């Protein structure tokens, strides 16, 4: 017991001497340095990241957003900022995964962040010349964006500019049917109907007679044999350059849904899955139908007209 008491007394003496030495090093009137300035919280880092982004200092904004993510890996806006910063630095391969991660983290209340992620992926894929993927992301953006939307941190990101980028993307990979639909649906233009009426090159054909040809597959392993329709298509007479198919019906007034058609060609594919009664197709193998469609007598002339319209929207 005495040994323990002696040990405690010795330890207290050492501590007291240490405190006296520290006190002796400080003179009356000395100021103690206390850190000042804002604490680098995640919110502060993101705020500074956007300030640098708007100033065009993308190197600093990258550093700020990266630091924010290192501080909190679930802070969604930091991924948005880093994604846009990498996009501006032309690091498209680095930007897209950040937008994808943000979309993974997003909840129902994060619709604004989702839209900006789609916009970021649109520009990133466009920068990589992946026009089909760029158009897909632009469609996702336009589906939820207001017509007058402007990104608060970058006024180049607007609904109008994304529409133009969508048009450009479809044109680049020669999806002219989607170019038509983009102008009609996103630019709210009735030019196509007017063009059909006023341009002698275009014609609106109603009730031309044709037939649906089917390709079938027979399963002989069951009894009776099971016949499945693989595809169903209509081949119009030569000379028709399809621009739009407006209706298909048979003599019993059954309507058929178009799955796709060859733009500028003469082949129409029927959506087989939407056919409720396939028996007539299987019985006749060449079901007669009436087809309504719009076509161009000179497809090259039509594309020139379409290009002029697209250029007029820029």
Mean pLDDT value of segment 172-193: 81
Q: How far apart are CA 112 and CA 48, in angstroms?
A: 20
CB atoms within 10 A of CB 63: 17
Residue among 218, 280, 205 nearest 248 (CA): 205
The pLDDT tens digits for 33-55 are: 444 555 579 999 999 999 999 99
> If pLDDT is split at 50, 70 and 90, which confidence band does 194 have?
low
Q: Residue 291 is encoded by which pair of tokens?
A: 């087809």
Q: How far apart are CA 281 and CA 43, in angstroms?
A: 64
pLDDT score for 267: 94
pLDDT score for 198: 64
Q: How far apart are CA 231 and CA 229, in angstroms?
A: 6
pLDDT score for 313: 78
The pLDDT tens digits for 17-37 are: 443 343 344 444 545 444 455
CB atoms within 10 A of CB 164: 18
More confident residue, 143 or 27: 143
Q: Is the pLDDT of residue 1 over 60?
A: no
Q: How far apart are CA 226 and CA 282, in angstroms?
A: 11
Q: Is the pLDDT of residue 5 over 50?
A: no
The pLDDT tens digits for 234-277 are: 999 888 899 999 899 887 778 889 999 999 999 999 998 888 87
Is 128 buried (19+), middle (13-18) or exposed (0-12) by CB count in 10 A? middle
CB atoms within 10 A of CB 220: 8
Q: Is the pLDDT of residue 182 over 80?
A: yes
Q: Is the pLDDT of residue 203 over 70?
A: yes
Q: How far apart are CA 295 and CA 45, in angstroms?
A: 57
Is 89 buried (19+), middle (13-18) or exposed (0-12) by CB count in 10 A? middle
pLDDT score for 283: 67
Q: How far apart are CA 121 and CA 102, in angstroms?
A: 11
Q: What percent of the chain has pLDDT over 90?
A: 53
Q: Is the pLDDT of residue 169 over 80?
A: yes
More confident residue, 184 or 160: 160
Which phi-psi region, left, alpha or beta, contains residue 37 (left: φ > 0; alpha: ψ -120 to 50)?
left
> If pLDDT is split at 50, 70 and 90, which confidence band does 60 have?
very high
pLDDT score for 314: 72
* Maximum separation of any 2 CA atoms in the chain, in Å: 117
Residue among 205, 189, 188 nearest 239 (CA): 205
Q: Is the pLDDT of residue 78 over 70?
A: yes
> Which sequence spans correspond to the domains of the chain?
42-171, 201-300
Is 91 buried (19+), middle (13-18) or exposed (0-12) by CB count in 10 A? middle
pTM equals 0.75
Q: Is the pLDDT of residue 81 over 80?
A: yes
Averaged pLDDT of the chain: 83
Q: Is the pLDDT of residue 2 over 60?
A: no
- Number of residues that make up the chain: 314
Q: Are 92 and 127 in contact (CB under 8 A)?
A: yes
| Across 6-20, 96-110, 134-148, least confident range | 6-20
Output the CA angle 199-204-206, nearest 5 degrees. 165
The pLDDT tens digits for 82-116 are: 999 999 999 999 999 999 999 999 998 999 999 99
Q: Is the pLDDT of residue 75 over 50?
A: yes
The CATH class of the 42-171 domain is: mainly alpha
Looking only at the bridges linking them, the beta strands covering 226-235 and 241-250 are unpaired
Q: Which of helix, strand or coil describes residue 8?
A: helix
pLDDT score for 18: 42
Which residues, other chains included, contact 252 with Cβ-Cβ below 8 Å and sequence gap of 6+?
A: 280
Q: Residue 231 is encoded by which pair of tokens?
A: 């595809």
């Amino acid at each position: 017991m005495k040994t323990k008491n002696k040990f405690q007394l010795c330890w207290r003496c050492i501590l007291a001497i240490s405190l006296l030495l520290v006190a002796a090093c400080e003179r009356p009137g000395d100021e103690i340095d206390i850190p000042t300035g804002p604490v680098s919280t995640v919110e502060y880092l993101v705020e500074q990241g956007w300030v640098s982004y708007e100033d065009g200092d993308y190197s600093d904004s990258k550093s700020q957003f990266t630091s924010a993510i290192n501080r909190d890996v679930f802070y969604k806006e930091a991924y948005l900022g880093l994604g846009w910063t990498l996009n501006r630095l032309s690091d498209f391969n680095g930007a897209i995964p950040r937008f994808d991660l943000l979309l993974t983290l997003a909840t129902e209340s994060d619709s604004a962040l989702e839209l900006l992620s789609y916009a970021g992926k649109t520009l990133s894929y466009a920068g990589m010349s992946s026009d089909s993927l760029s158009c897909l992301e632009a469609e996702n953006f336009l589906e939820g964006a207001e017509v007058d939307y402007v990104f608060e941190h970058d006024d180049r990101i607007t609904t109008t500019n994304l529409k133009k980028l969508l048009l450009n993307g479809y044109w680049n990979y020669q999806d002219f049917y989607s170019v038509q639909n983009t102008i009609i649906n996103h630019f709210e233009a009735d030019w196509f109907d007017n063009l059909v009426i006023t341009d002698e090159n275009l014609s609106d054909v109603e009730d031309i007679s044709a037939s649906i040809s089917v390709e079938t597959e027979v399963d002989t392993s069951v009894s009776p044999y099971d016949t499945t329709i693989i595809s169903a298509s209509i081949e119009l007479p030569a000379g028709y350059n399809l621009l739009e198919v407006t209706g298909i019906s048979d003599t019993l007034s059954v309507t058929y849904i178009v799955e796709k058609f060859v733009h500028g060609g003469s082949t129409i594919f029927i959506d087989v899955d939407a056919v409720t009664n396939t028996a007539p197709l299987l019985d006749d193998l060449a079901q007669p139908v009436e087809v309504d469609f719009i076509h161009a007598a000179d497809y090259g002339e039509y594309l020139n007209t379409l290009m002029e319209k697209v250029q007029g929207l820029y």
